[in-house]
Amino acid sequence: MAKNRFNHSWLHDHINDPYVKLAQREGYRARAAFKLKEIDEQDKLIRPGQLIVDLGAAPGSWSQYVRQKLAQNSRSEINNLPGMIIALDILPMEPIADVHFIQGDFREEAVLAQLNAVTGARKVDLVLSDMAPNLSGVAVADAARIQDICELALEFAQQSLHKEGVLLVKCFHGSGYSQIIEQFKQRFKVVVVRKPKASRDKSAEIFILGKCLKIAH
């Protein structure tokens, strides 16, 4: 019974969520696009000419926003996007114009080889990660899963970014959070935390932004 009440409550909140309605109106696949939009407008993350990698991209709303932002800066009458977007996910994703999608686990050599085939081994300007684990409700286990996801994104960024590159990851307040922040500070010269208005008040999610690698590969 309690579970049903929870489901009804979530559904009610979701249906009446202004960002859900806005996403539907503006053609985004998920309300998450507005979280990235707010952070981008505050921190000026996305600029013409960048190579941007979107980890855990499905269903694709972050890639949609990036594509739209880059397209705004296009001075060409032809559909040449001033920049490159590569989306990766183990789940399938419906195509998005101008977005290179690679389905697979980015920890695997075969997937990284596909990525390098697209980038030509060029270093990345911006890594985005809206990845989140399936949470069990067991605090200790969930904290470990969250930390693991963040560490995967950090490791990928360490290998892929150029020295002035930027990493944005979703994280959650709770056990292990301070360790994740410390790992960011070990790798980046600038580390800030963002909680966009589009992130629900009830949610423990926050976003960690790392700028300028201390040691670039």
Residue 134 sits in a domain of what CATH number?
Answer: 3.40.50.150
Q: What is the pLDDT of residues 83-136, one digit of tens each?
A: 999 999 999 999 999 999 999 999 999 999 999 999 998 999 999 999 988 777
Q: Has residue 46 been placed in a domain? A: yes
Please report whether residue 169 resides in a domain: yes
For residue 21, is it within any domain? no
Q: What is the dihedral of CA 145, 147, 152, 157, to 10 degrees?
A: 150
Interval 191-208 mean pLDDT: 90
pLDDT tier for residue 201 given thresholds of 50, 70 and 90:
confident
pLDDT of residue 172: 87
Number of domains comprising the chain: 1
Q: For residue 170, indicate whether it is catalytic.
A: yes
Tell whether 105 is in a known binding site.
yes
Mean pLDDT of 144-157: 93
Q: Is 83 among the domain residues?
A: yes
Question: Domain range for residue 173?
Answer: 30-213
Question: Is 17 within the bounds of a domain?
Answer: no
Tell me if 83 is assigned to a ligand binding site.
Answer: no
60 among annotated binding-site residues: yes
Q: Whole-angstrom Cα distance, residue 22 to residue 147?
A: 31
Out of 170, 197, 211, 214, which one is annotated catalytic?
Answer: 170
Per-residue confidence band for 168, with pLDDT thresholds at 50, 70 and 90: very high
Tokens 């590569």 found at: 86
Residue 101 lies in a domain: yes
pLDDT level of residue 140 (50, 70, 90 thresholds): confident
Query: What's the token pair of residue 192?
Result: 């800030």
